[in-house]
A = this chain, B = another copy of it.
Amino acid sequence: MMRLKKWAVAGALGAGVVMLWGEAAWAQATEISAEDVQANLDNVFVLVAAVLVIFMQAGFALVEAGLTRAKSVANIMMKNLMDFCAGALAFFAVGYAIAFGSDVSGVVGSSGWFLGDGAFQYGTLTVPVTFIFQVAFAATAATIVSGAMAERTKFRSYFFYSIVISGLIYPIVVHWNWGGGWLSTLSTPFHDFAGSTMVHMTGGVAALMGAMVLGPRLGKYGSDGRPRAIPAHNIPYAVLGTFILLVGWYGFNPGSELAADGAIGGIAVTTTLAAAAGAIAAMIAIWMKSGKPDVAMAANGMLAGLVGITAGTAAVSSIGAIVIGAAAGFIVVAAVLFFDRIRIDDPVGAISVHGVCGAFGTICVGLFATEDSDFWKAGLFYGGGTDQLVSQVIGVAAVGVFVAVTAGLLFLAIKSTVGLRVSQEEELAGLDVFEHGAPGYGPDVTPVLAPTPITDSRATATVPTGASS
């Protein structure tokens, strides 16, 4: 924001920074070419998309906070805050190198540690813009888990898990496909445009393992073993969070084009239609099941539609998007009820939304892709045979197994060392006071009376000296 008289100097600045980042190919000269401008545009577009994806952190935090209980609300906000922070540093330090560094046997990457030498750069994007988009994705994968483990997990254990998934598990999965690993070199390469599997199913499967290792919340199952409703404490948070996630998804999907080209509009359209169809389908499904259009389920349905379209967003038609979204909306309702019944307590439906619909959406590419392209083959329903479908199933299965095993071992290891779950007393009282020192809602909001300070208990009526006006 320096006052400059000549634009060319800003160009020089750009060039300087570019060289700092080890790349000078598109440096701006005084004579600027259309290619240079397109490159700048690509970078701006992907940076804005990354910001939208980062905004999704707020959406996740609100959905999870809204659908759980007031007594642990500060804890869940903190977990979402720290997911992003721990995720960003871990992905910067090692995750990015593992995901996108030079390939070792198709399994892991191995260059660009700490964004240093050999750090990956995509197309016209600079290294830092490539990184910022990817780090936003890593934080998303991590944050999915916190909802499923809500209201009963030790904060320090969660924090540790969060570092490992962002720095290790997620990067390996990403390497297999986007990082040039074995899934991308199948004869018909696995196709997951924006991460139905890479991001969402990875998060969802880790969430499943976490919820299983933890066990259900106290009081979630009666002595007869049947599930009990533990109602949401704040539906407005949950719906606001869902809207924010919808908005963020316009960074998530169109941004994954990684260039400001003609495809981004179509991607935004399939994203919109699937979201809408998902919410409506889930609303109808739960309406039929329990006689009322449940709000939390409808919100889950929108997210299910979005997760479902994420893999095929660039490959399917508008009608295909609606069908995928609607199916995901139905599936998420069935999945939520199913996990409830088999005693896996997922307070926010993360396993169903991200895990189940992530897998479903990925497989849908093999069914609904409209025609062959450089990146995918036409799907079964469009006469393309089963080539793509088989690759999709392989990818889903491989990632599912890998994440289930690694995340499962991680949670078991934590459980048998520092412990994963808080004490019964703490869980009954809520995590906020025990884990973080104070409740998430003050004494003037929840029905607890005003606290007494340790130091002095008669001060309420004391008037400070400066208090006149």
Contacts and interface: CB of A to CB of B under 8 A. Distances in A.
Nearest to A12: B374
Given A3-B184, A262-B126, A239 B61 contact: yes
Given A2-B178, A122-B3, A276-B84, A155 B293 contact: yes
Contacts of A239: 61, 77-78, 80-81
Contacts of A214: 466, 469
A244 B3 CA distance: 28
Contact of A38 (B20, B40, B322): B40
Nearest to A277: B89
Contacts of A217: 464
A69 B444 CA distance: 7
A37 B40 CA distance: 10
A263 B373 contact: no
Contact of A132 (B263, B272, B298, B467): B272
Most B CB contacts (10 A, CB to CB) among A80, A85, A195, A421 go to A85
Interface string A222-239: 111011110111111101
A48 B39 CA distance: 18
A263 B14 contact: yes
Contact of A81 (B131, B242, B256, B263): B242
A212 B466 CA distance: 8
A442 B232 contact: yes
Nearest to A462: B223
Nearest to A252: B1
B293 A20 contact: no
Q: Report whether over half of chain A's contact residues are helix, strand or loop; otherwise say mixed.
A: helix
Interface stretch (A26-34, A385-393, A398-406): A26-34
Interface stretch (A50-58, A201-209, A331-339, A355-363): A50-58
A401 to B, nearest CB: 22
A43 interface: yes
Contacts of A243: 55, 57-58, 61, 81
A232 B438 contact: yes
Given A132-B265, A302-B85, A466-B214, A442 B234 contact: yes
A219 B462 contact: yes
A44 interface: yes
Contacts of A247: 51, 54-55, 58
B50 A48 contact: no
Given A122-B3, A218-B462, A442-B234, A47 B265 contact: yes
A81 B273 contact: no
A20 B266 contact: yes
What's the number of copies of this chain in the assembled complex? Answer: 3
Contact of A52 (B51, B213, B318): B51
A384 interface: no
Interface string A174-197: 000011100010000000011100
A422 interface: yes
A124 B37 CA distance: 14
Contacts of A216: 464, 466-467
B89 A463 contact: no
A69 B233 CA distance: 16
A288 interface: no
A299 interface: yes
A342 interface: no
Contacts of A77: 235-236, 239-240, 295
Nearest to A465: B215
A273 B92 contact: yes
Contacts of A195: 1
Interface in A433-464: 435-447, 451, 453, 455-464
A88 interface: yes
A194 B1 contact: yes
A235 B62 CA distance: 12
Contacts of A409: none
A204 to B, nearest CB: 19
15 contacts: A2-B184, A3-B179, A3-B184, A10-B123, A11-B259, A12-B374, A44-B264, A61-B236, A69-B444, A78-B293, A86-B280, A89-B280, A126-B266, A132-B268, A345-B464
